[in-house]
Structure 1
Amino acid sequence: MLSGPVAVVHRNALSPVVFPLPEMLRRCLLLCLLAVLALPASALAQGDGIVDKTLYKTGNSGRYLMGGEWLYRADPSGNGAQQGFATSTSRLGWTPVTVPNAWNAKDYSDASFAGGVGWYRKDFHLPSAAKALSWVVRFESVNYRSRVYLNGRLIGKNTGAYLPFEIRLPAGLLKRGGRNVLAVRVDDRRFPTDFPPSGLSTTGVPTGGWWNYGGILREVYLRKIDRVDFTNVAVLPDLPCGTCDAHVTYKATVRNYGDSAQRVRVTARLGARNVALGTLAVGAKRFATFTKRIAVKHPRVWSPDSPYLYDTSVGAAVGGRTLQTYTVRTGIRSIKVVDGHLMLNGKPLHFRGFGTHEDSLDKGFAIDDAQREQQIQWAREAGATLFRSHYPLHPYYYERLDELGMLAWTEVPVYSVKTKYLKQRLVRELAAKELASAVQTNINHPSIIVWSAGNELSARPGPVQGYYIQRAVKLAKSLDPTRPVGLAVAGYPSAGCQPEYKPLDVIGINEYFGWYSGPNGQIADRSLLSDYLDSVRQCYPDKAIVITETGAEANRDGPVEERGTYQFQQDFANYHFGVYATKPWLSGAIWWTLEEFAVRPNWEGGNPWPNSPIHQKGVITMSGVKKPAFFDLQRIYKGTKQYG
């Protein structure tokens, strides 16, 4: 209670100066204090930046974006845990930031690329103080090794950079009516066994596939769970032909978070149609999977021409009350390899597309949906129908590609892992697990037409890579039998025919004939490209063949024969896509990349006048300026019948 005089201390005073407080002011202050104490938990959470909002639609209900202010501090010694960073409640030493955040954005030094340790902290109140609720924190992407603490206690760990992970907030640690402190230790130092690998070459030069941005690189959510939770939901279409009736299979796994068994009823939607998946008794802390296959007469088929999406959301109810909904919008379509060609709804694909990376001059990897949308619109402006990336993209991309009728080649960052490391059983198992996680995360997007198990492993695979390919394909098919599985490989004539590729449905060729010279100069002469592609077809007549990469660096005007000029890049694009046009068996071709991005220190990429570390094969600069080759590709892409 406030009564009597209040001590007001002047900053320079040696002792308090006491002033009598008028009765009216005392009452006002008391009412204000009582009003604050009476605020519901949801209002306190909103004050922390915890809002009922998501940056993409697919997924569980009950998600709250952990926006607003976060705190960050570097940990150059890596000993922050011993120094009390995980238990700190003071702001001293911490810098306010927002998340997503790449702590080394705009820093292109060797030390920045090599990586280090940093800490993030979020002080928050739960949106509801109800004791019956459980809470999970969901990280969309953290690079690379993370340790998560709640109120000073370690509650979970994760390794990886481009896929989401969730950690339950233990009820015994949560302060339901008070302030909680979430601390995250992030270590972005990479090793040769990571995905992608990084380290130093034998000459001490930093190696790696693209810039190593450290931090919480995508958004973070709190998830509210009222007794039951969907852990996995897959909605898989089966369309025998483009004009056939279809089937749709629902597979939903539910976890009971409660302390007693629950009878859980799961229902779904197929547009306006209700689908009952059944009722099961789910034991305390146990899981149950609900499966239902239904026939769909005269389906509206998803295609680039007409990307129709069905609401196929799934709900879980206990005692007649729906406790959680998992939002899914998917399309009924088929993607198969028939006689060595990718067929969408029974029609051949000849797609033209771009590679892409999430990167920006000011934010690094931690871009927002506005920049993602800009990339998509640039690709559409150029007439492209497909995106490929070296890692699973943010879900916003896939949702927009679904809506727009564009396609995606989705790959895991098992990139350029040396055979001596892939030889380790644990590395192979983790690589296959990476692919499985990518499939489970993005399985419901009709835009995804290929799951890729990696990129540019040894061009002459032996038993080690063969074992990985076999394991990865088998695992992906067990989770999703509706899509083909591929691999992107370096295109060298000396590689010959490789029996280790037998399990694959699709082979992506990264070809740079006339740009790089390759081992013993075998790809220096671009006139050899046509014969090389024919030899690939002869090796793999039953597999779909895609050009997954081609491109040339460009950063200046100059003669057409001078490497690195805009004019050379234009000529390169016209020549290569001209060759592709003579190969009707090619299922598609992708320019690498749409927009420039940061690669690694000392990058030159075959350009005699490089701008390290920027990868400048992109036809749009990092500042958003279109290069002349953009318009050449636009003419080529729009002049190509890409579907049907």
Structure 2
Amino acid sequence: MFPLPEMLRRCLLLSLLAALALPTVAYAQSPSANAAQADGLLNKTLYKGGASGRFLMAGQWYYRADTAGNGAVSVFAGDPSNVGWTPVSVPNAWNAKDYSDASFAGGVGWYRKSFHLPSAAKRLSWIVRFESVNYRSRVYLNGRLIGKNTGAYLPFEIRLPAGLLKRGGTNLLAIRVDDRRFPTDFPPSGLSTTGVPTGGWWNYGGLLREVYLRKIDRADFNTVAVLPDLPCGSCDAHVTYKATLRNYGDKAQRMRVTARLGARKVVLGTASVGAKKFATFTKRIAVKNPKTWSPTSPYLYNTSLTVSDGKKTLQTYHVETGIRSIKVVNGHLMLNGKPLNFRGFGTHEDSLDKGFAIDDAQREQQIQWAREEGATLFRSHYPLHPYYYERLDELGMLAWTEVPIYSVKTKYLKQLKVRKLAARELESAVRTNINHPSIIVWSAGNELSARPGPVQGYYIQRAVKLAKSLDPTRPVGLAVAGYPSAGCQPEYAPLDVLGINEYFGWYSGPNGQIADQTTLSDYLDSVRQCYPGKAIVITETGAEANRDGPVEERGTYQFQQAFANYHFGVYATKPWLSGAIWWTLEEFAVKPGWEGGNPWPAPPIHQKAPITMAGVKKPAFYDLQRIYKATKQWGP
């Protein structure tokens, strides 16, 4: 583990190196560029992957609550006066540190920022990119609505209309954010029988990740996938490049697309693309004696793509990926032909001072804590910030990447619009993160009904088909609540991987069926009998702990230690398991009144983690460290 000062220095060094690595722009000293810099627009990103021409919209932003929920657009989106607005930096969660019922229930807030374009050149188009906004967004430019989005945890982009842009003057970007959740949202929310808001985890409202302004010089990479095909660990490989481009110009444009495989040049082809039209370029190449990516040797190839008009580079798309295979063979997850038995942690993006709007320093701290404990995998309920995946790629760690289709009731999943939104979440997650070798499973959701039925069965079938159509190189899974009464479910047939959330001996479960932890071993054997061809993973286990006390007393550090030792001891007797995950690494906020089975809780904080939100390690940290480091997590 890095000491915190050294870790911070490392993050600063990475940021500096990333900034130095960016291409020099021809208009760096132009009046427009100087004005943009004065607005806080920085020619840098907080992660490497993606298109060139991104400008971090840092500097001064303003926030204002809309207590009426539908305030006059002219005041919030068009009036340039900042009277009544609070200066903030972005990312920002407006209700960080506010754990009231009203905070969780959500509301409406507005963000705004004045900016100049880095270049006034008329040939350029501009896009604003939001990495994560919770939950419903309306985006305005100079007082006019230009786009909408629903959802969180995934990026979305909106083009800034040329007719509204002031190319040589001051522009006003405003975003209306509504984080009031409904039973059809992801995760869903509503009211308990006592009128208390419910939901999956704390409902932080705002611009939860950073915002970029993105420059387009006629051509733009719409989607990019670089997919490896490694038949066996010692085999030659193939790599398939698939890139879809859009011509943003007003006339047809001849476009040439090339790529890299390390030092090797790869030509994808040349085509004439009509004005405002799309074109897809595909190339499959053989790779002799590839350097493979693995936990012990996480080799990354530079596989970046470039589009040019034959004379000038119009855009580059930075990609680093690894050549590796992840498959399910005889009911086991296999990485490069060798079985996995990973040990990992769940994680949430949360902090005491910033809520969800954490920075790369905290992300790095979580990764280093996990490494210190001997973990090789992160699981999340939603796609994580790209910084996580890039670091996992570099370190040879793994990721179970899930969409927040969590505890959606069947009566809502039955609605066509809900299934369509769920499918869009999965599609966006795959397209956004497809090039990360660390991701080994796409998970279509978590803890839907333990008795699926035809509605959930239909969703699972469609979700698996969609994910595999976009990415045939990875298995698709689902995390489910582990109850003996669930039995064998034919609706899980399309899945490659089944994640079991088991809390035997912590929660009692329906009719007390998981109250006795000594029944865990038999239950796991029954799961294996139901699904012999699927990879089985323990996706959650854990026990709350916030104090010293007797080992028999729930909620004590000593109970948590004994719980960890017993459960991972059972897992060690199941050689067919592909891995196990403790939920979570660091504490996070859940919902008002959360007690999590602890007789002396500290709501709304989920306290099953071995590390507190203040960064203090509990005794179980060292038990899990000993267990994880003693486990062979990859290999024969």
* TM bucket, shorter chain: over 0.9
RMSD: 0.7
User: How far off is 1:433 after superposition?
Assistant: 1.4
1:582 aligns with 2:573: yes
User: How far off is 1:425 after superposition?
Assistant: 1.3
Equivalent position SS for 2:323: coil
Equivalent position SS for 2:488: coil
Equivalent position SS for 2:149: strand
The amino acid that maps onto 1:232 is: T
1:559 aligns with 2:541: no
Does the CA contact (< 8 Å) of 2:252 and 2:274 recur in 1?
A: yes
The Cα offsets for residues 478-505 of structure 1, whole Å up to 9 and x where unpaired, read as: 0000000000000000000000000000
Q: What is the rounded CA distance, in whole Å, between the counterparts of 1:510 and 1:470 in structure 2? A: 21
Q: TM-score, normalised to structure 2's length?
A: 0.95
Q: Which runs of 5+ in 2 are unaligned?
A: 1-28
User: How far off is 1:320 after superposition?
Assistant: 2.0
Q: Which structure 2 residues correspond to residues 584-599 of structure 1 after superposition, within 5 A? A: 584-599=575-590
Equivalent position SS for 2:62: strand
1:632 aligns with 2:589: no
Q: What is the rounded CA distance, in whole Å, between the counterparts of 1:185 and 1:384 in structure 2? A: 40
1:523 aligns with 2:514: yes
Which of residues 600, 613, 632 in structure 1 aligns to 2:604? 613
Which of residues 104, 111, 115 in structure 1 aligns to 2:102? 111
1:494 aligns with 2:485: yes
Which of residues 182, 206, 212 in structure 2 aligns to 1:215? 206
Q: What is the rounded CA distance, in whole Å, between the counterparts of 2:196 and 2:557 in structure 1? A: 28
Task: Quote the residue 1:274 is aligned against.
Answer: 265
User: How far off is 1:203 after superposition?
Assistant: 2.7
Q: TM-score, normalised to structure 1's length?
A: 0.94
Q: Which structure 2 residues correspond to residues 131-530 of structure 1 after superposition, within 5 A? A: 131-530=122-521
The Cα offsets for residues 264-323 of structure 1, whole Å up to 9 and x where unpaired, read as: 000000000000000011000000000000000000000000000000000000032111
Equivalent position SS for 1:86: helix
Task: Quote the residue 2:526 is aligned against.
Answer: 535
User: How far off is 1:83 after superposition?
Assistant: 5.6
Task: Quote the residue 1:571 is aligned against.
Answer: 562
Task: Quote the residue 2:13 is aligned against.
Answer: none
User: How far off is 1:160 after superposition?
Assistant: 0.3
Q: What is the rounded CA distance, in whole Å, between the counterparts of 1:63 and 1:523 in structure 2? A: 51
Which of residues 47, 51, 57 in structure 1 aligns to 2:48? 57
Q: Which structure 2 residues correspond to residues 51-90 of structure 1 after superposition, within 5 A? A: 51-82=42-73, 84-90=75-81
Task: Quote the residue 2:8 is aligned against.
Answer: none
The amino acid that maps onto 1:399 is: E
Q: What is the rounded CA distance, in whole Å, between the counterparts of 2:75 and 2:468 in structure 1? A: 46
Task: Quote the residue 1:29 is aligned against.
Answer: none
Does the CA contact (< 8 Å) of 2:74 and 2:143 recur in 1?
A: no
Does the CA contact (< 8 Å) of 1:423 and 1:464 recur in 2?
A: yes
Runs of 4+ aligned structure 1 residues displaced above 6 Å come to none
Aligned-residue sequence identity (percent) comes to 86
The amino acid that maps onto 2:72 is: A
User: How far off is 1:79 after superposition?
Assistant: 2.2
The structure with the larger Rg is: 1
Does the CA contact (< 8 Å) of 2:101 and 2:196 recur in 1?
A: no
Q: What is the rounded CA distance, in whole Å, between the counterparts of 1:374 and 1:128 in structure 2? A: 37
User: How far off is 1:205 after superposition?
Assistant: 2.3
Does the CA contact (< 8 Å) of 1:516 and 1:606 recur in 2?
A: yes
The Cα offsets for residues 522-543 of structure 1, whole Å up to 9 and x where unpaired, read as: 0000000000000000000000
The amino acid that maps onto 1:635 is: R
Does the CA contact (< 8 Å) of 1:80 and 1:86 recur in 2?
A: no
The Cα offsets for residues 396-439 of structure 1, whole Å up to 9 and x where unpaired, read as: 00000000000000000000000000011111121111101100
Task: Quote the residue 1:11 is aligned against.
Answer: none
User: How far off is 1:91 after superposition?
Assistant: 1.1
Equivalent position SS for 1:84: helix
Equivalent position SS for 1:113: helix
Task: Quote the residue 1:7 is aligned against.
Answer: none
Equivalent position SS for 2:527: helix
Task: Quote the residue 1:94 is aligned against.
Answer: 85
